[in-house]
Chain A
């Protein structure tokens, strides 16, 4: 050890940095930074991608202080249960302060990836104004912005016509120039004042600084499942004619109309476009024309897939699809005429990812016919209209399947279109590579889960959701403890688990005992006593996110091991048995946790009784104390 240490001390920092370049995972980099002071120092100056799993665990200032060379930031805001309307609006998760701080500090931001955050149009406009090398914006499950904000992003993508000629030949050169200009404090003007130059010329003599205009090579604009207000502007037309750098454009979640002609022109001139996902407003005949211009696409999201199969456009579509030999990922079908599906059969042969989970009205037989063409599928997202019979077809055809998600099709009605344990067992038998599952089903049995566990020991993510959350084993009427127990025992690499159905403390005993790699656990309407939660807290050493709703876990469990919560990212408990008193005790004992109580609709008449049950509690470790942007209904104890 001693020898190693002294050897390592002789390595100049550049060497260390070069070695660290090979570490792409942020967890590896985090580990490396803990080795010693000099490694910490080298690592922090060389880290370009930073991942922050909870935006309130740290603040922009600390981020910038530690990682001044950051180029890519990933931020997550609201707790997961916000997806299911358990977190009131205005809870928090605003990105603006982050963008503002990075802009002020002159950070060279190139990529911003946000999940469950509130993104205002102002944020997008500030983003557009502040970072000359910005390339990639990915927003997942965010809200707060409109198409005006998107227009601001799109319109920043501009390039002078003189530099344009260099762009085609020597893109990195131009980017480097822009980068250097930024560092020197120079701004590139519009075409007139820029001279043609050769790589060896001195920068200072070439550029005038009459106008501050940032140029962008926007590569990626990816909007997934966001709530966006449509301001009926023409945001898509804001991409200027000179924008040719797009690699990925996904606006499937937008509700409003888009200028289809502008889209066609945009696709035609962005020859590097690999991923295009359009919204429902782009009809199939337009898509056909677009595809004709972009046979190089890898990832296609259709809008509405409705056409008369007897029409001329239909024939054109079939021909165009046949030429799209690079498409590996297909999604969309936001509205679909099942009789049009055969047009995609040619693409299906090489498809590795298929998402039909937003496609209403395709029934089992049509899905089966489609699936038969998809032998290389690795990821399949589908509605439960596929039925057990359809899943049997998937099992016999899709031998490469790794990830399966079966969503419920009928959330509001009686729902007789659903899948059962039979479909799941068939899949497990036919698809040995399966490692990730999300399965909404009518019913389940222990026997089925035990069989699944035996067939598929490689699960990393296993999320089972019975439509009735406390339904017992459909055959024996017993709780589903044994079934889930088999899953955790067999799947030694399991990192994420959601349980449902009738469950006692026993299932948590199994989870605590066997789920050694488990990082995220979702519990609803399960368990009998505090022991259940204790088994999990004591047993799962790698737990990061624990979320519990409507389960009888209370103060004893909450307070048994308060230090545990500093080893986790967060704990959510709603409609459980914890009281205000216990939460206050916890907050007092653990100053580096924020213990937030969410009070909805209740009047705040002084402090509540310590014995009163807390409706919603969200606690998380943090380096920066209580947040300053908490709304009235959130109390940080």
Chain B
């Protein structure tokens, strides 16, 4: 599955616009992510994005490694399934981990209409009633990993946007997040507004 060397010449080079020829490495702008698939180079193709190393899709399939990368679906809009179908596919199981729990659970995001519903379901799943929603005295904070691999606080973006980008959930102990400025009050406000 590796391209011939000849083809390297005509390959799309990743680089900042305006730079001559470009090349991989260094800081690459966001748009580069969408070009990942075209950068099938023999050299394994690791690309630096936002200071995080992520494996280019292609290297996974070059036979160099068998493992399927978690952020396989970083590319926007691929496979080309229309947004309505993505959201209503019925299946959108994501893993949920809770700090201190010995095993993970899975939850179907499609089954929920919004953040309030989801938080209730999470509380039930782990038996931590009222511990996710309360203000300062709530023991846990719900966060999620998005398509970019970043950990985000639940509730900032519209629900639909969240569904499209959520890869997994984590119920983090508030004590671990001290000093991060979670503005739990705002989260609560956001949640109750949704009804």
A-to-B contact residues, CB < 8 Å? 81, 83-86, 141, 225-227, 253, 255, 334-335, 357-361, 407-414, 440, 465, 467-472, 477, 498, 504, 522, 524-525, 528-529, 549-552, 574-575, 577, 579, 609, 611-613, 615
Scan B86-98; emit 1 where CB is below 8 A from any A CB, else 0: 1011111110000
Bound-state CA distance A334–B111 (Å) is: 12
Q: How many interface residues does B have (CB within 8 Å)? A: 41
B43 adjacent to chain A (CB < 8 Å):
no
Bound-state CA distance A622–B85 (Å) is: 31
> Which residue from A335, A504, A550 sits with its C-beta under 8 Å from B90?
A335
B77 adjacent to chain A (CB < 8 Å):
yes
Tell me the smallest distance from the CB of A160 to a CB of chain B, in Å: 39
B-to-A contact residues, CB < 8 Å? 1, 7, 10-12, 17-18, 31, 34-35, 37-38, 40, 57-58, 61, 68, 73, 75-86, 88-94, 113, 160, 164, 167
What 8 pairs between A and B have smallest CB-CB spacing?
A: A84-B77, A360-B90, A83-B82, A225-B84, A613-B17, A528-B10, A575-B34, A525-B37
- Contact A411/B17 with A83-B80, A84-B83, A225-B85 known, Cβ cut-off 8 Å: no
Given A85-B164, A226-B84, A477-B1, list of 15 further CB < 8 A pairs? A81-B77, A225-B85, A334-B88, A360-B89, A361-B90, A412-B167, A413-B93, A440-B79, A470-B37, A470-B58, A528-B10, A550-B34, A552-B10, A577-B12, A579-B17
* A86 contact set on B, CB distance < 8 A: 76-77
For B113, the closest partner residue in chain A by CB is: A255
Tell me the smallest distance from the CB of A628 to a CB of chain B, in Å: 27
* B85 near A407: Cβ-Cβ < 8 Å: yes
Tell me the smallest distance from the CB of B61 to a CB of chain A, in Å: 6
Tell me the smallest distance from the CB of A440 to a CB of chain B, in Å: 6
- Contact A528/B7 with A86-B77, A467-B79, A575-B31 known, Cβ cut-off 8 Å: yes
> Can you list 18 contacts pairing A with B, beta carbon distance less than 8 Å?
A83-B82, A85-B76, A85-B83, A255-B113, A334-B90, A360-B90, A408-B81, A412-B167, A469-B37, A469-B75, A469-B78, A471-B1, A522-B80, A524-B80, A549-B77, A550-B38, A552-B38, A613-B31
For A600, the closest partner residue in chain B by CB is: B30
* B7 near A409: Cβ-Cβ < 8 Å: no
* A81 contact set on B, CB distance < 8 A: 77
> Which residue from A360, A411, A609 sits with its C-beta under 8 Å from B79?
A411
> Which residue from A84, A226, A255, A579 sits with its C-beta under 8 Å from B80?
A84
* A471 contact set on B, CB distance < 8 A: 1, 61
* A465 near B1: Cβ-Cβ < 8 Å: no
* B58 contact set on A, CB distance < 8 A: 470
* A472 contact set on B, CB distance < 8 A: 1
* B12 near A611: Cβ-Cβ < 8 Å: no
* A574 contact set on B, CB distance < 8 A: 34
* A412 near B92: Cβ-Cβ < 8 Å: yes
Bound-state CA distance A411–B91 (Å) is: 9
Bound-state CA distance A226–B12 (Å) is: 37
* A360 near B83: Cβ-Cβ < 8 Å: no
> Which residue from A334, A407, A408, A550 sits with its C-beta under 8 Å from B37?
A550
Tell me the smallest distance from the CB of B106 to a CB of chain A, in Å: 10
Bound-state CA distance A451–B91 (Å) is: 34
Tell me the smallest distance from the CB of B86 to a CB of chain A, in Å: 6
* B18 contact set on A, CB distance < 8 A: 609, 611-612
- Which one of B7, B11, B12 has the highest number of Cβ atoms from chain A below 10 Å of its Cβ? B12
Tell me the smallest distance from the CB of A63 to a CB of chain B, in Å: 28
For B13, the closest partner residue in chain A by CB is: A552
- Which one of B34, B73, B77, B91 has the highest number of Cβ atoms from chain A below 10 Å of its Cβ? B77
For B87, the closest partner residue in chain A by CB is: A227
* A611 contact set on B, CB distance < 8 A: 17-18
Tell me the smallest distance from the CB of B27 to a CB of chain A, in Å: 16
Tell me the smallest distance from the CB of A367 to a CB of chain B, in Å: 15
* A407 near B81: Cβ-Cβ < 8 Å: yes
- Contact A552/B76 with A84-B81, A360-B90 known, Cβ cut-off 8 Å: no
Bound-state CA distance A581–B80 (Å) is: 30
* A412 contact set on B, CB distance < 8 A: 73, 91-94, 167
- Which one of A409, A469, A579 has the highest number of Cβ atoms from chain B below 10 Å of its Cβ? A469
Bound-state CA distance A86–B75 (Å) is: 11
* B78 contact set on A, CB distance < 8 A: 84, 469, 524
Bound-state CA distance A475–B82 (Å) is: 30
Tell me the smallest distance from the CB of A47 to a CB of chain B, in Å: 31
Bound-state CA distance A469–B81 (Å) is: 13
* B76 near A84: Cβ-Cβ < 8 Å: yes
* B61 near A468: Cβ-Cβ < 8 Å: yes
* B81 near A410: Cβ-Cβ < 8 Å: no
Tell me the smallest distance from the CB of A126 to a CB of chain B, in Å: 25
Tell me the smallest distance from the CB of A357 to a CB of chain B, in Å: 8
Bound-state CA distance A612–B113 (Å) is: 42
Tell me the smallest distance from the CB of B7 to a CB of chain A, in Å: 7
- Which one of A225, A579, A609 has the highest number of Cβ atoms from chain B below 10 Å of its Cβ? A225
For B92, the closest partner residue in chain A by CB is: A412
Bound-state CA distance A413–B92 (Å) is: 9
Bound-state CA distance A522–B77 (Å) is: 13
For B111, the closest partner residue in chain A by CB is: A335
Bound-state CA distance A371–B103 (Å) is: 40
Tell me the smallest distance from the CB of A465 to a CB of chain B, in Å: 6
* A528 contact set on B, CB distance < 8 A: 7, 10-11
Tell me the smallest distance from the CB of A363 to a CB of chain B, in Å: 13
Bound-state CA distance A453–B136 (Å) is: 65
* B77 contact set on A, CB distance < 8 A: 81, 84-86, 549
* A358 near B90: Cβ-Cβ < 8 Å: yes
- Contact A409/B85 with A84-B77, A550-B34 known, Cβ cut-off 8 Å: no
For A504, the closest partner residue in chain B by CB is: B7
Tell me the smallest distance from the CB of A146 to a CB of chain B, in Å: 14
Tell me the smallest distance from the CB of B107 to a CB of chain A, in Å: 13
* B160 contact set on A, CB distance < 8 A: 227
* B76 contact set on A, CB distance < 8 A: 84-86
* A84 near B82: Cβ-Cβ < 8 Å: yes
For B88, the closest partner residue in chain A by CB is: A358
Bound-state CA distance A552–B13 (Å) is: 9
* A552 near B12: Cβ-Cβ < 8 Å: yes
